[in-house]
Amino acid sequence: MALVYSEWAGPLLDTINADIANTSTLASSLLTAIVYGADLFGDEAKFLTGNFGFDGYMGVPGLMGANAEQAAAEFNVAWQSVDPALNPSLRALTSAASLVGASGTFSTKMLLADTMPLVFSFPVLPSSLDADGSDFEVTLSDGTTVTPQIAGLLPNLEHNERQTVVIEGDFGNRTTPGSPGARYPTSVTIVNDGTPLQMIGKSGPVNAVGLSIDSSNSYMAGNGPRLVSAKLNRYSDLGEGGPVGVGASSQHNSGSDSYGDQAQYRLRLYTSAGFSPDGIASLMPDDFSRFFQLKATTQSGENITITETGVTYAIGGRGTISVVGLADLAPAGTPVNAAYVEDHDNYYDVILEGDLNAIKALSAVRMPSGNGYSAVYNPGGPGNSPDAPGAAPGPFTVPSQDHSIPISFDLDGARQVTFVETDGAVLRNPWNLQPVGRLLGTAVEDTLTGQTILAYIDPQDRRFYSSFEASSSTSTDLPGRRTQLSAIDLVDIREVDAPNGVTVSGSFSRSAADDSILQWYSVSDDEGTVVDPLRGSILKPGEPGYAEAASRRADLISDNTLELANSKIAPFSITLESGSIYAPLITNQTSGDQYFAFAAANADGFAHYTGFGANGWGMEDGYGGGDRDYDDLVVRFSLGV
């Protein structure tokens, strides 16, 4: 058996199995802290694509009734011609989601919403993704910006498939760009909504705020779906499967489920959008030869093109390769006919068997998309009967074009990551977002791929599992003489409606001989203007009485004093009233000096704070800047209602 579990693996397996057994039909059920055996499709966190998916398919009225086909045509979504004797599901007949189904899945009214699949190089940490779409800002062709109505992982729900987020909302129409009335996305950016989006890289969590990409329009020729990566690993079941309530079609559809011991290698094809032969129908297990080619090179430099399933190809003296079939489709054993429905996510696995040296000779994947090969469409395509009487008028999303991409090799599993919190959110090092923990031992070892998952416990006795080393509970000692400073994120909750207040929580660390206390105080604007609660005077940083007024405002907040022993990392939580901006106030207990986030308010006129990414900052507690390492206190926080 390739997967070896130790005594430390119990809580991990319990968490994974319970998550797979979750029968909730809500998309939010996927927003758990589980990234398990997931691929890294690059060396840094970045957007790969962020294109306009399709217009008006989410929340279509009438699709659940007897006149569903007519309703589809009325609302301009394609409908498939399938033999009724096959008892096809709604998904076999259309890519659109009904008003009832979509609204129920996302717990909000979804009416003719558009979609955009956001394809990333790293898996997203699901617990940092906000279902209300507030992590993202979409810029449209008319210059306006919109926040998506929702964001989620569907249909990319398996534990090793969480590199793609799908956002839905009103992003445009199908009018050709350049024509009067055309409206479409031009870019999408990850923004700081108070709970910054994170991804999981090789060394652990990374901040995703600020990533951005231009968007292409899927209704314009040349912008059809495409491959964005092709990653080859030794086959492993690690991370296969996800919650059954939202993904019945994603259960038992892995390479080993379909092909048993023939699944020696997995070539995972990562796509810019879901692939379909016509926009509705599914790819099927024996469809490799219809859509794909593989290129291999012999020792003498001869190119071998692999085109068929079940055929043994000799790669010179390097041995042989055979394509076993496609996986990550529908559950193994599903009848393969026109009613077949795969999971329609952004991943397709080409399952291979053969000699290792021959496998290493593979170099590229090609999708000819013509000349005897079929093109693919994203789920907004025309279906198999766009010209039928009474059919939807279109236009529909465009087909793929001939393209090739290189194969990247990860035969030792070095570019696969795991991070699973089993007992709730664990303590983080505020400097680098690393989870803080004491190593218990190795929990899981995959003897074929080389993946290893470690078991940790944090200072709050919460367990977590990761493929990377955790941070110790000792604060990070940063180099001094920092000259490049950046503004810090204040706690801006002016527009938050929270009668019971907003929770500011996170972690902080101290690396300083002097003891300091951290407080927050309310300010009126980004410049730090404060209203003195005693005298009612309005003061700006640097004006006489500012420090006293700020201190009085800090004293109005309950439990508003945070202290920490030197070299330690600890969690914190404080509740603040909504409707204001809050800034930090540090008091050095040794010297008595106070330091504000606004340099003009400090007695030395020096900038004592610098930003460390979204909602993270460090400060310098010495008059005049001290050693300027800005690690005397380091704070990272998120907001919760």
Decide which of 377, 409, 441 is a domain's last residue. Answer: 409
pLDDT of amino acid 641: 86
Mean pLDDT for the chain overall: 97
Q: Looking at the structure, do residues 289 and 161 belong to the same domain, yes or no?
A: yes
Q: From 394, 409, 424, give the residue that closes a domain.
A: 409
In the predicted structure, residue 204 carries a pLDDT above the cut 80 = yes
Same domain, 69 and 199: yes
In a domain, 402, yes or no: yes
| pLDDT for residue 182 is more than 60 | yes
- Give tens-digit pLDDT for 118-152: 999 999 999 999 999 999 999 999 999 999 999 99
183 and 300 fall within a common domain = yes
* Whether residues 294 and 186 fall in one domain: yes
Give, for 547, the enclosing helix (H) or strand (E).
helix 546-555
* Residue 581 domain boundaries: 491-640
Dmax of the chain from CA atoms?
A: 89
Cβ proximity of 276 and 329 under 8 Å: no
* Percent share of the chain, pLDDT over 70: 100
Q: Could you tell me if 396 and 508 lie in one domain?
A: no
Say if residue 334 is in the same domain as residue 207: yes
400 and 549 co-located in one domain: no
Domain shared by 380 and 496, yes or no? no
At 298 the pLDDT is: 94
| Model confidence band, residue 2 (pLDDT cutoffs 50, 70, 90) | confident
Residues 496-519 have pLDDT tens digits of: 999 999 999 999 999 999 999 999
Cα–Cα distance measured from residue 20 to residue 14, given in angstroms and rounded to the nearest whole number: 10
pTM reported for the whole predicted model: 0.96
Provide DSSP, 254-293.
Answer: SHHHHHGGG--EEEEEEESS--BSSSSSPP-TT-HHHH-E
Whichever domain contains 536, its CATH number is: 2.60.120
pLDDT > 90: what percent of the chain?
98
Average pLDDT over residues 184-208: 98
Instruction: Indicate whether 398 and 517 sit together in one domain.
Output: no
Domain assignment present for 123: yes
Question: What burial letters (b/e) apply to 392-411, b meaning 16+ CB within 10 Å?
Answer: beebbbbbbbeeebebbebe
Answer positive or negative: Cα dihedral of 89, 97, 71, 375: negative
pLDDT for 1 equals 53
542 within domain boundaries: yes
Shared-domain flag, residues 401 and 496: no
The residue-averaged pLDDT of 205-213 equals: 98
Note the pLDDT of residue 225: 98
How many domains does one find in the chain? 2
- What is the model's pLDDT at position 439? 98
Same domain as 531, residue 394: no
- pLDDT (tens digit per residue) in 544-563: 999 999 999 999 999 999 99
pLDDT on residue 65:
86
pLDDT of 106: 96
Q: What is the pLDDT of residue 139?
A: 98
Domain final residue, candidates 386, 409, 432: 409
Residue 557 in domain: yes
For the stretch 255-313, pLDDT in tens is 999 999 999 999 999 999 999 999 999 999 999 999 999 999 999 999 999 999 999 99
Whether residue 428 lies inside any domain: the answer is no
Quick one: 378 and 507 in the same domain? no
Q: Is the pLDDT of residue 626 over 70?
A: yes
User: How large is the average pLDDT for residues 598-606?
Assistant: 97
pLDDT tens profile 363-391: 999 999 999 999 999 999 999 999 999 99
419 falls within a domain: no
